[in-house]
Amino acid sequence: MSALERLHKKTRLAAETKLGSDEEVITIFSGRSKQALIVTDRQVLIVKPGSMAGAALGAKATSFPFQSITRINLHTGPGFAALEVVAADYPASDKPDLRAAYQLPNWLACHRSMGESPLIGELRTYVRSGGQSQPARTALSDAHRTLRD
């Protein structure tokens, strides 16, 4: 089973349209409401299906090539966490509103436990290196394999 096959159908279909045929999925961070952050060997892709994201009949997918990402922020609140991809067209939020994380194209609403995950550090390292950090890639890939099995 491929990594994408575990995603909700609308999420998977939107992701497949944004990924190159030779692009390798390294890991997937699952979000709330069937949303996902997909890390490949070239980019970070955030996919948001359904009405919570403002895509009632389909899904929205926003891709962030590594070279456009300036940082990845983690925001936490009571019982809630959100990853924010800060990039050229998506500057950092001055005053984050975690409720908007479901709709913003560069945010992934996720469970509070994500705020304590060491994988966030590995993700930051991997993105900063432009996908070249082998230790970060291995950690992300191994964690993804463990979640799939």
Boundaries of every domain in the chain: 3-148
DSSP 98: G
38, 45 in Cβ contact below 8 A? Answer: yes
Pick the CATH number of 3-148 from 1.20.120, 2.40.70, 2.30.29, 2.60.120: 2.30.29
Residues of the chain with pLDDT > 70, as a percent, come to: 91
pLDDT tens per residue across span 56-111? 667 889 999 999 999 999 998 888 899 999 998 898 877 777 778 888 999 999 98
Question: What span, in angstroms and rounded, lies between the C-alpha atoms of 147 and 149?
Answer: 6
Question: What span, in angstroms and rounded, lies between the C-alpha atoms of 114 and 5?
Answer: 22
Residue 148 has pLDDT above 50, yes or no: no
Residue 122 has pLDDT above 90, yes or no: yes
Compute the average pLDDT of residues 105-123: 92
Residue 146 has pLDDT above 70, yes or no: no
145, containing H or E segment: helix 134-148
